[in-house]
Structure 1
Amino acid sequence: MTLLIVGHRGAMAHKPENSLESYALAEEVGVDEIELDVRLSKDQQLFLLHDATLDRTAGDDSARGRGPAAELTLAELQAVVLDSGRGVVSLAEMYDATSTVIQLEVKDPATVPFLAEFFAARHEDAARTIVTGFDPDALRQAAELMPQIGRCIIVKTLADAERFDGGLAGLLEYTGSTRFACGFPGLTKETVEAIQARGLDVHVWMLRTLEDMRAAVALGADGTTSDDPAQAQQWYRQVLDERKARV
C-alpha cells in the first residue's frame, strides 16, 4: 500500500502557510495532495486563511487588529500585507496556480453553498478536490450540494468520532464521507481496516516525527499530512527500507 503525503497548508515549514509560494513548493517536492483552508469574505468571495483573523499571519500593521476576516471584503483582504509579502490568496488564484489534488478544509459552514456555485463553473477543479472539515453539518450539506466531490470528516481523536450519535459509523453515514481523517490517539490497525472495509480511505495527522511515520505505516493508513512534506517523504522511504530489512 502506498502512503499519500499531503502538504499541510502547502509546505508551511519552509514557506508562509496558505501562500502561493507554499503551494508551489509543495508541488515542487512532489506531494500527492495539498491541504488548505477556505473562508468567505464580507462580499461573499472565497479566500484562503486558516485563522478567523489575520493577526497571526500578519506581515505588517496593515493586517493587525482588523477583526474577523469574514467582516472584510476580498479587496480589503488582498490589500493587507501578510507574512507572505502580499494579501490573502483567493480560491480561484490557488486553483489557477496549482495542478495537484486539493484538500479543501471548510473553516466556516457559510462557505458551502458558495463552493457549490464555484465548482459548478469549474468542473476540472472540482474533479481534483476533496472537501474536508470538522463540522458534520457542513460536510452533510456539501454532500447534498456537491455530491460529485469527495468528502472527508476530520476528528482529533477516535473518541471524538465515537461520541457522535451512532458512533463512528453514524458519523461517516451522516456526513456521507468518502475518507476519514483522524489524529493518532486511539486509532488501531483493526479500526483502520474496518473503515477501509467500508470503502473509505483513512488519513492520519499530524505527522511531525519519524516515529509518527512508523506509526502511520504500521496502522496501514492511506495518507498523512505534514508541515514539511519533503521530510515526510524521506521518512517514508526510511520506514519502507526498515521494513524490507526485517523481511
Structure 2
Amino acid sequence: MGLLIVGHRGAMAHLPENSLASYALAEEIGVDEIELDVRLSKDEQLFLLHDATLDRTAADDSARNLGPVAELTLAQLQAAMLDSGRGVVTLAEMYDATHSFIQLEIKDPAVVPYLARFFAERPEDAARTVLTGFDADAVRHAAEEMPHIGRQVIVTEIAKAEEYEGGLWALLDHAKVTRFASGFGGLTPELVEQLHARDVEVHVWPLRTLEQTREALHLGVDGATSDDPAQAIAWRDQILAENGVVARS
C-alpha cells in the first residue's frame, strides 16, 4: 500500500507554476516526482511552459499579447516578465537545478527530435525522466526516438481512451507506453490490475481532496499528481496511518 505524490508544475498551489522556485519547493516538500511542460522556441530551444502563449502567466505587458510562444525566440521568451519574476526556464536550467524524477509533458510534438538530442548529451537526466502527453502520436514518436526513456499517455477519463480506435488497449499499444495517466472517471481496481499485468504503471490526476486520496489508494494506482503536494502527502500519510502503515521517510 503506497502512493507516489507528483508535484504538478512544481508546487503550483503555492508558487508560480513551472518556475525554479516552484520546483525547489516541491523538492523541499518531498515529492516523489515533478510534472512539468516542455515547448520549443522559434530558434529551436527547449523551455518550460504549459500554455501556448505567455498571457496567463504574464506579470506585466512585457509578456502579454506576444502571440504563440513557438513564434518567439528564446531571448524574447526570457525577456518577458512572468509571474515568477523572470522569463521562461530552459529545460537545461531545470535539470541543473533539480534532482527529482521528472514527468516531462510534451506540449508541442515538434519538441521530440530536440529532446532526443538533448538526452543523448545528458544520459543522467534521461535516466530520471518519463516522457508524457495527451498526443498519442507524439508519445509514440518519443518511443521511437528515445526507446530507453519511459513513456506515459494521458487521458482525462477512461471514456476518452475508449474513443480511440480499438479502445484503451489499442491506444496504449500505439503509444508504446510504460505508464498510463487518467482522471478518476472510469478507473476501477480491476482495470488497474489489468494494466499492472501488462507492466504498465498507472497514475491519476488531479488529486485535490482527501476522498480522492482514499480513492487512489483503493484503486491501487502507483501515483497521483497534485497542485498542492504537501497537502497530498499529508492526506496519503494520514490514510496509511489509519491502516497501520508507516509512510516512507
By the TM > 0.5 criterion, same fold?
Answer: yes
Give the whole-Å Cα distance in 2 for the aligned partners of 1:145 and 1:234: 38
Q: Tell me what 1:80 maps to.
A: 80
Give the whole-Å Cα distance in 2 for the aligned partners of 1:101 and 1:124: 11
Contact 2:207 2:213 in 1 (8 A): yes
Q: Tell me what 1:190 maps to.
A: 190
**Any idea what the Cα deviations from partners look like across 1:105-155, whole Å, max 9, x if unmatched?**
000000111100110100000000000000000001000000000000000
- State the AA in 2 paired with 1:77: L
Give the whole-Å Cα distance in 2 for the aligned partners of 1:168 and 1:144: 20
Displacement of 1:207 in angstroms is: 0.2
- State the AA in 2 paired with 1:24: A
Q: Tell me what 1:142 maps to.
A: 142
Classify the secondary structure of the residue corresponding to 2:26: helix
Displacement of 1:218 in angstroms is: 0.7
- State the AA in 2 paired with 1:41: S
Query: Is 163-172 or 135-144 further displaced after alignment?
Result: 163-172
- Structure 2 unaligned spans of 5+: none
Classify the secondary structure of the residue corresponding to 1:244: coil
Q: Tell me what 2:181 maps to.
A: 181
Q: Tell me what 1:164 maps to.
A: 164
Classify the secondary structure of the residue corresponding to 2:151: strand
Alignment of 1:81-230 (within 5 A): 81-230=81-230
Q: TM-score, normalised by structure 1?
A: 0.98
**Any idea what the Cα deviations from partners look like across 1:35-68, whole Å, max 9, x if unmatched?**
0000000000000000000000001110011110
Contact 2:2 2:217 in 1 (8 A): no
- State the AA in 2 paired with 1:135: D
Point out 4+ residue stretches in structure 1 off by more than 6 angstroms: none
Q: Tell me what 2:242 maps to.
A: 242
Displacement of 1:244 in angstroms is: 3.4
Q: Tell me what 1:24 maps to.
A: 24
Give the whole-Å Cα distance in 2 for the aligned partners of 1:188 and 1:37: 28
Give the CA RMSD over aligned residues: 0.9
Give the whole-Å Cα distance in 1 for the aligned partners of 2:165 and 2:146: 24
Q: TM-score, normalised by structure 2?
A: 0.97
Give the whole-Å Cα distance in 1 for the aligned partners of 2:76 and 2:83: 16
Displacement of 1:239 in angstroms is: 1.2
- State the AA in 2 paired with 1:243: N
Contact 2:38 2:47 in 1 (8 A): yes
Contact 2:206 2:224 in 1 (8 A): yes
Give the whole-Å Cα distance in 2 for the aligned partners of 1:120 and 1:199: 26
Give the whole-Å Cα distance in 1 for the aligned partners of 2:85 and 2:137: 35
Displacement of 1:243 in angstroms is: 2.8
